[in-house]
Amino acid sequence: MKYMPFPPFHSKPCDRVVEVENAEKAIKLVRNALPLFRVGKPLIKPDGVDVPILYLNFAIDRLHYDPKKERPLPKGCPRSSRAGEVGEIEEKVEKILEEAKILPAAEFREPENCWIVPVAWKSFIILHIRVSADGKEIIPDYRLTEEIRRHGL
């Protein structure tokens, strides 16, 4: 059997955009934009509730919400109890956003060529905000935006 080497992990180096200054710009941008985030209409699913978070009429991420405990779920845990009153969910998530904090760090995702700035509520990371590699623009979640528009929310 002929030996086949593993393909390289990265097809292009990201060292040109991965600079501490760009990460700091991304964090500052999200910190300044946080007061402008709006709560969209909850998406009720059989196994949970997702609440779109909007910025300039585009969805930027979905917040997983547990209506039974009346609190967000951490990223990576999208399943919850059945939904309660939709209006109550929006009000509770607005309060959660008021209490949210931007963590002072960013992750770089090479496939998407962007920074991920985590947003926390208490000890949970509840949102991942995408910011352009240069740290100057928030990148919408186009798939979620389309889902919202498709359902007329």
User: Is residue 15 assigned to a domain?
Assistant: no
What's the pLDDT tens digit per position in 122-134? 999 999 999 999 9
**pLDDT score of 67:** 87
DSSP string, the chain: ----PPPPS-SS--TTT--HHHHHHHHHHHHHHGGG-EE---EEETTEEEEEEEETTEEEEEEEEETTTTEE--TT----SPP--HHHHHHHHHHHHHH-EE-S--EEETTTTEEEEEEEETTEEEEEEEEETTS--BPP-HHHHHHHHHTT-
User: Is residue 81 assigned to a domain?
Assistant: yes
**pLDDT score of 11:** 46
**pLDDT score of 60:** 98
User: Is residue 118 assigned to a domain?
Assistant: yes
User: Is residue 9 assigned to a domain?
Assistant: no
User: Is residue 3 assigned to a domain?
Assistant: no
User: Is residue 66 assigned to a domain?
Assistant: yes
Query: pTM of this prediction?
Result: 0.85
Total number of domains in the chain: 1
**pLDDT score of 83:** 57
**pLDDT score of 17:** 65
The parent domain of residue 50 ranges over 20-151
User: Is residue 4 assigned to a domain?
Assistant: no
Pick out the chain residues at pLDDT < 50: 4, 7-11
User: Is residue 5 assigned to a domain?
Assistant: no
